[in-house]
Structure 1
Amino acid sequence: MDDLFLTGGKAYGVLKSHQEEKLNSVNEAFLSDPQYAEEEELASKLEMFKKKYMEFDLNDKGEIDIMGLKRMLEKLGLAKTHLELKKMMSEVIGGTLKDTICYNDFLNMMLGKRNAILKLILTFESMGKEQEQKDLGPPQRKTFSDLP
């Protein structure tokens, strides 16, 4: 079946699968890059980064624009001004004339040694989710010896 004739949910699914294939090929390049050979759990980190990236790629073109970045930060409860968003974007893309964050730039930021504001926000957000998952379930049973 030709992708041009798909509509609605099927077209969206095909679009997302094409996007995921492109991001997977970028992940494979990072896995074989000797610069990241020492990185612990690189494959699982790349998979997590891919899912996060796809979630906020609003135009489904493999790029996060300023509205995608705005949505990402609002979802995390950190609404930013337009000026702050532009500053974050310029940190990630390295002062180039682009106005979107491509997946390569995103991965270089997340895996690089530089501490961009966006990297810090996303790192702490994922650490918070890990803590939330540990706290799930009923509280542990208390005994008299636990009392102060």
Structure 2
Amino acid sequence: MIEKWIIMLVLFCFATGYAQNDKDVYLLFKEGARSICRHSMFKDGREKTEIDFICKKRNSEGKVWFIMCLRNFEAIDNGETITVEEFQKLKIGTIDDLMRKAESDWQVTHKGNIFKDIYIIEENEGKYNKFKVKWIGVYEDE
């Protein structure tokens, strides 16, 4: 029997107006994502994952480190239930979309402002719960 996946979607609204339209990026979190917190990704798309998100850009190697697993989020509201129709309107993006956006807007002195609003949407038994969260992880140097 196929194990039922708990799907979590994360919406990243970037600090620029660009992301306040249909360019918002939604990414899938699948069950087990809490234990996968770090992954190296390169501009050519090798070693990509659906789980980790941007923390640090290494200009010399063109490498971006993503350290943003679920345990690095903290809810800042009580959440709300959204309808199936609202859920179906979400446009699912790819990690490459997020990389391109983050790299184009990268500001070394404003690392904490890459993402303006972050939401996690959890699917559980046909219901969708939406939580506004903040990232409480730490930027790491290699």
TM band (smaller chain): under 0.3
* Greater fraction helix: 1
Could you tell me the TM-score, scaled by structure 1's length?
0.27
* RCO comparison, higher one (Cα < 8 Å, 6+): 2
* Greater fraction strand: 2
Name which one, 1 or 2, has greater alpha-carbon Rg. Answer: 1
